[in-house]
Structure 1
Amino acid sequence: MHPMVKPALRRAWRERQTIQFGVTPAHAVSIGPVDTATGSLLELLDGTRGLELLDAQARAMGLPDGLAGTLVRRLAAAGLIDDATCGGPAAEALRSRADVLDRLRPDAAALSVVDREPGGGMRRLAARRGIRVQVRGAGRVGASVAALLSAAGVGRVDVLDGGCVEPGDVTPGGLPAGAIGERREPAARGLVRRSAPQRPPRSAAGAGVGAGAGAAGDPGLSLVLVCPRDGLGAYAPDPGAAADWVEGGVPHLYAGVVEATGVVGPLVLPGGTACAGCLELGRTDRDPGWPRLLAQWRSGGRRIPVPACDLALASTVAGLTAAHALSFLDGELPLTTGIRWETSLPLLDWRREALAPHPRCVCGAARGSGSSGKTEGEDTSGAAGSHETMAG
């Protein structure tokens, strides 16, 4: 082990015998009492020394035997120690690719803050390279989501969409102006390839677009992101379109913009959280006229010529969607799990709606959760962060 104090966390003396690591309440930790001599030993925890060398240098500084090991264990228990050599074979392979890792160092630093285990951040980052996701939709939201996931190190990002790129699809983080007139799937494939820290060969990059889950030699889908160009498909998702994912147990996350309202969530865990069918049944219980409205909106008879999709709002939705997707892919359950977040122009206040599994839905999630089928009202308070303080 080559321990180092996590460099992503700023540290400062709170008072003469207490050191605070980290700035924000979500990840700040205070350690004390720490005398000045022990504090000087912190400077040696930079990942270049093993424990034996640390002990020897501590003795040379006149510090007691075993103090270095005690300090490392104490900091590790507080989630403050990283290891420049840990993370397993996949992490070691990533470290060997300096060109790729240089692109991802800020992501690795962020993951080191999130994961308390030494080497855990690098382990999570390396694991992304073996993940396959699918993005349904290559408009202002979907294309940006695909680019962000690829740039964050997700190894395979497939994009499904039809038609050709239109001028209104162009965004700074998504499809470029040069793609106007191209077919959306090849254009999105090029965007994903250009965004990746390690660009795959063109043939490999193209092989996955449009491929189904479980194709020979392909990793299975870890997540489907439903980002339709018509945001109605995210706000009121079609249960029929999601039936195969629900039956196959494929997690899927909805996101989009409809009529100047951004929607992120829910993240559906089949059999565990509310699915598109639960949403539709629950809304119908509260509003008997909802099925009639949906039938007209989905029929295509009164399609609006230009969807209302503000560029900045679409970029905000795409960024938040990618962040929630990465959190899930890294092994967490983000606050879109069974929850939908909405924000609308011009005030951009985020609203939270918890969505309960419906007892009449064929997905069966209500049987596992004991849900009554009722949907909680909006909660604008958001989610509170946690602040862990450790002393002694």
Structure 2
Amino acid sequence: MYPMLKPALHRAWRGRNTVQFGVTPAHAVRLGPVDIATGSFLELLDGTRGLPLLYEEARGLGLSDHHVDVLLERLVGAGLLDDPRSAGPHAEALRHRAEVMDRQRPDVASLSVAHPEPGGGLRRMAARQSMRVQVRGAGRLGASIASVLSGAGVGHVDVLDGGRAEPWDVAPAGLPSASVGERRDVAARRLVRRSAPGPAPRSAAAGRVGRVPAGVGRAATGGAESARARAAGPPEGSAQPGLSLIVVAPREGLSGYAPVPDTASPWMASGTPHLYTGVVEATGVVGPLVLPGGTGCAGCLELHRAERDPQWPRMLAQWRSGRRGAVPACDLGLATAVAGLAAAHALAFLDGELPASTGTRWETALPLLDWRSERVGPHADCVCGAAEGVKGEGASAAVQAQDTMVG
């Protein structure tokens, strides 16, 4: 073990005896009381010393081995201690790829803050290399999402779309102007390769990572666990890893805002998680992230809307069957913001978390751009069956609570 204080966290003394690690409330941790000798010892935790040398130098400061053990245990418990060497063989291999690590040091640093266990950041970055994500759409939104996912270390990013790139598909984070007139899928594949920090791995071998947040139901966690199982890679000898996630980002934003449930039937049948996103008119949406059988799906979304507005199905049929001659509205700043949020939610899911878009849609509109959320719960009449799973889990929880009360 070569412990180091997480370098991504800013450090400051709140007073003579208390150290604060981290600036923002989301990740700030206070450590105290800290005397002068312990404060000096903290400076030695830079990842260059193993435990034997740390014990020796601590004795020189008048600190006992027991004091060091207790301090290190407290630092680990507070999520302040890192040890990249303990992240496993795949992470160790990544650590020695200098050309890749130079690109991804900021990402690994951020992951080390978000995931408290020592080596957690590098372990998750290494696991991303074996994951496969499919982005459906290569317009301003979809191509930008694909480039961010590839640049963030996802080893296999497929982009599906038809036709040829138009001038209005070009975006700073997406397709370049040189791709105009080229087949969209070809241009998107080139963008993904150019955005990647290194060549795609030849095999998909990585251990499961991450954890399921406390308080999440069995139906939802089943979707998350199956995604992480796919992320662990295909059977030995398989040419390509299974899909960990599908991101739906159509160029025509109506299909992202009001997705056709039948399109998702194969994903629901295979248990493939999928995240909807889009820009329609001057509104951007991210979510819901659908965990088949565990959260509300596109069919649930459509049924809930029809209940709130009985005329919705009539209008939706007209919009879907109408002529699409005009270039769809897609503000570049809005599309870039939506792409960034969608990519961040996708990465959080791939890293083993259930982001805020799980079963929830986030929506913002020009010109004020205030994000608001709408829960997309399972609908009892939807064929996805998620409502039955939630109902069964609720009954089980009620029985458990009753048993606890009787006991």
Q: What is the TM-score normalised by the length of structure 2?
A: 0.86
2:186 corresponds to 1:158: no
Q: 2:34 matched to which residue of 1? A: 34
Match of 1:318 in 2: 339
Q: What is the CA–CA distance in structure 2 between the aligned matches of 1:200 and 1:75, rounded to whole Å?
A: 36
After superposition, give the CA deviation of every residue in 1:310-331 in whole Å (9 maximum; x if it has no partner): 0000000000000000000000
The equivalent of 2:110 in structure 1 is: 110
Q: Structure 1: which amino acid aligns with 2:242?
A: G
The whole-number CA distance in structure 1 between the counterparts of 2:255 and 2:155 is 27
1:70-89 CA-to-partner distances (Å, cap 9, x unmatched) read 22111111111000311111
- Does the 8 Å CA contact 2:129/2:200 hold for their aligned counterparts? no
Q: Which residue of 2 aligns with 1:294?
A: 316
**Aligned AA (1:151):** G
Q: What is the aligned partner in structure 1 of residue 23 from structure 2?
A: 23
User: How far did residue 155 of structure 1 move?
Assistant: 0.4
Alpha carbons 2:155, 2:200 under 8 Å: kept: no
Structure 1 match to 2:92: 92
Match of 1:355 in 2: 376
Letter in 1 for 2:113: V
Residue 237 in 1 paired to residue 240 in 2? no
2:119 alignment counterpart: 119
Q: Distance in 2 between matches of 1:288 and 1:214?
A: 45
More displaced 10-residue stretch of structure 1: 259-268 or 59-68: 59-68
Q: 1:260 aligns with which of 273, 282, 289?
A: 282
> Secondary structure of the residue that 1:44 maps to in structure 2?
coil
Q: TM-score, normalised by structure 1?
A: 0.89
1:141 counterpart SS class: helix
Residues 326, 201 of structure 1: alpha-carbon distance in 2 compared, 3 angstrom cutoff:
closer
2:74 maps to 1:74: yes
Structure with the bigger RCO (C-alpha within 8 Å, sep 6+) is 1
Q: Deviations over 1:143-188 (max 9, x none)?
A: 0000000000000000000000000000000000000000000000
Q: More helix by proportion, 1 or 2?
A: 2
Residue correspondence of structure 1 range 33-72 to structure 2 within 5 A: 33-72=33-72
Amino acid at match of 1:152: A
**For residue 375 of structure 1, what is the aligned residue in structure 2?**
none
2: CA distance, partners of 1:325 / 1:64: 46
Q: Which amino acid aligns with 2:68?
A: A
What secondary structure, in the 3-state scheme, does the structure 2 residue paired with 1:7 have?
A: coil
Within 1, Cα distance between the matches of 2:62 and 2:307?
74
Deviation string, structure 1 residues 45-76 (Cα, Å, up to 9, x no partner): 00011111100011122333432222211111
2:388 match: secondary structure: helix
| 1:345 match | 366
Name the aligned partner's letter for residue 354 of structure 2.
L
The counterpart of 2:245, out of the listed 218, 223, 244, is 223
Gap runs ≥5 in structure 2? 203-232, 393-407
> After the TM superposition, which parts of structure 1 deviate over 4 Å for at least 4 consecutive aligned residues?
213-216
Q: Distance in 2 between matches of 1:256 and 1:280?
A: 16
Query: Is the 2:4–2:82 Cα contact (8 Å) retained in structure 1?
Result: yes
Partner Cα separation in structure 2 for residue 263 and residue 109 of structure 1: 28
Give the Cα–Cα distance (whole angstroms) in 1 for the partners of residues 377 and 85 of structure 2: 44
Q: 2:84 and 2:328 mapped to 1: Cα distance?
A: 49
- Count matched residues: 360
In structure 1, the gaps of 5 or more residues are: 203-212, 372-392
Q: What letter corresponds to residue 370 of structure 1 in structure 2?
A: K
- What residue in structure 2 maps to residue 172 of structure 1? 172
Structure 2 distance, partners of 1:275, 1:235, is: 13
C-alpha separation in 2, matches of 1:276 and 1:231:
15
Shift of 1:200: 4.2
Cα distance in 2 between the residues matched to 1:62 and 1:289: 77
Distance 1:367 1:201 in 2: 40
2: distance between equivalents of 1:161 and 1:191? 14
Map of 1:327 onto structure 2: 348
**In structure 1, C-alpha distance between the alignment counterparts of 2:348 and 2:143, rounded to whole Å:** 19
For the residues of structure 1 that align with 2:188 and 2:136, how far apart are their CA atoms?
Answer: 11
Q: Write out per-residue CA displacement over residues 7-57 of structure 1, whole angstroms, 9 at most, x where no aligned residue.
A: 100111111111100000000000111111100100100001111110001
Matches of 2:242 and 2:65 in 1, distance apart? 51
Q: Distance in 2 between matches of 1:133 and 1:350?
A: 26
Q: Percent identity?
A: 68
Q: Give how far 1:302 is off.
A: 2.9
SS at structure 1 position matched to 2:288 = strand
